[in-house]
């Protein structure tokens, strides 16, 4: 069952295909959501992504797992799609560019590969510190200001203002849908993970920090090359239990 957010829980359709969901979600002022899980400020030519987790397969390999190399390739494929549609002069990674801060030549090689890809296209890379970058002293910024918003990873306490963050890997799970999503509120944008390896946090469950659970976020799902507006979390929770079951 899929939801038409324009309906009330009492008259929700029994089954609504994705085509019936709104395709033009409300955008944060000055910003554009994209199907590649990026947030783009067109006037500034800046794309913001989070939770890339380069080196995921190498970190898993150090623990004995065998995971084929794919993270850098998938990252560049998504960035190629994004930059073919929109003009991007700067890429901000809001934390967790890498999976592990432990020394790893293959992770360094992947980061260098991304940096070269960006440099070849004259795209500046701004790398914000996240929890996967380690907990020691860092030369990376903890936050930057852009377009009237503050951008940080989201693993540390944040003061008042308007924030764009990652870290939480929000995901919508309702019956046949299990997909990363943007969470949007007046002063908050929580980005979906850019990496397909990042386990999603069920936004209809209780995993979001307590302060966020008090906010009625708009849920926008990038899927099949489009954006689907699933409406407010309160409406979704009125129909589904966490774990995609109806109340």
Q: What is the mean pLDDT of the chain?
A: 86
47 CB-near residues (< 8 Å, 6+ apart):
34, 38, 39, 40, 41, 82, 86, 88, 90, 91, 92
Q: What is the mean pLDDT of residues 118-136?
A: 95
pLDDT one-digit tens code per residue, 48-98: 999 999 998 888 777 766 676 789 999 999 999 999 999 999 999 999 999
- In what helix (H) or strand (E) does residue 115 lie, and over which residues does it extend? helix 105-120
Per-residue pLDDT tens for 141-157? Answer: 999 999 999 999 999 99
Domains of the chain: 9-246 (3.60.21)
**Regarding predicted confidence, which is higher, 31 or 14?**
31
| Strand ranges inside the chain, DSSP E | 32-33, 39-41, 46-49, 90-93, 124-127, 143-146, 149-152, 163-165, 170-174, 177-180, 182-185, 188-190, 201-202, 218-223, 226-232, 240-241, 245-246
pLDDT (0 to 100) of residue 241: 62
Average pLDDT over residues 224-244: 83
Question: Percentage of the chain surpassing pLDDT 70?
Answer: 86
CA distance 180 to 171: 4
At residue 2, the pLDDT reads 35
Please name which of 233, 184, 236 lies closest in space to residue 12, comparing C-alpha atoms. Answer: 236
- Number of helices (H) and strands (E), helices first, in the chain? 5, 17
Write the CB contacts of 193 (distance below 8 Å, at least 6 apart in sequence): 37, 50, 51, 53, 166, 169, 180, 200
- Is pLDDT at 4 greater than 50 in this prediction? no
Examine the pLDDT at 181 and tell me if it is beyond 50: yes
Residues 6+ positions from 234 with CB-CB distance below 8 Å: 216
Token pair, residue 58, equals 């190498």
How does residue 39 score in pLDDT terms, banded at 50, 70 and 90? very high
Q: What are the φ/ψ torsions at residue 228 (nearest 5 degrees)?
A: -120, 125
Task: Tell whether the model's pLDDT for residue 7 goes beyond 60.
Answer: no
Among residues of the chain, what percentage have pLDDT more than 90? Answer: 64
Query: Residue 45: is its pLDDT beyond 50?
Result: yes
Q: Which pair of structure tokens corresponds to residue 50?
A: 């989070």
Q: Which of 20-34, 101-115, 208-222 has the lowest mean pLDDT?
A: 20-34
């Amino acid at each position: 069952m899929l939801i038409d957010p324009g309906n009330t829980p009492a008259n929700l359709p029994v089954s609504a295909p994705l085509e019936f969901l709104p395709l033009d979600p409300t955008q944060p002022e000055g910003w554009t959501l994209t199907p590649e899980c990026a947030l783009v400020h067109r006037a500034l030519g800046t794309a913001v992504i989070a939770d890339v987790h380069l080196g995921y397969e190498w970190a898993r390999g150090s623990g004995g797992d065998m995971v084929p190399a794919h993270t850098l390739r998938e990252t560049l494929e998504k960035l190629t799609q994004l930059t073919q549609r929109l003009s991007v002069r700067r890429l901000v990674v809001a934390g967790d560019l890498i999976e592990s801060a432990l020394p790893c030549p293959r992770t360094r090689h992947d980061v260098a590969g991304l940096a070269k890809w960006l440099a070849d296209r004259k795209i500046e890379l701004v790398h914000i510190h996240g929890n996967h970058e380690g907990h020691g002293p860092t030369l990376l910024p903890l936050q930057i200001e852009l377009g009237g918003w503050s951008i940080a990873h989201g693993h540390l306490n944040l003061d008042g203002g308007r924030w764009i963050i990652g870290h939480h890997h929000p995901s919508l799970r309702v019956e046949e849908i299990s997909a990363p999503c943007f969470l949007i509120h007046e002063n908050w944008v929580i980005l979906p993970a850019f990496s397909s390896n990042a386990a999603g946090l069920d936004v209809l469950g209780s995993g979001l920090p307590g302060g966020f659970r008090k906010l009625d976020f708009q849920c926008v799902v990038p899927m099949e090359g489009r954006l689907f507006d699933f409406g407010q979390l309160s409406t979704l929770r009125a129909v589904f239990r966490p774990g995609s079951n109806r109340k």
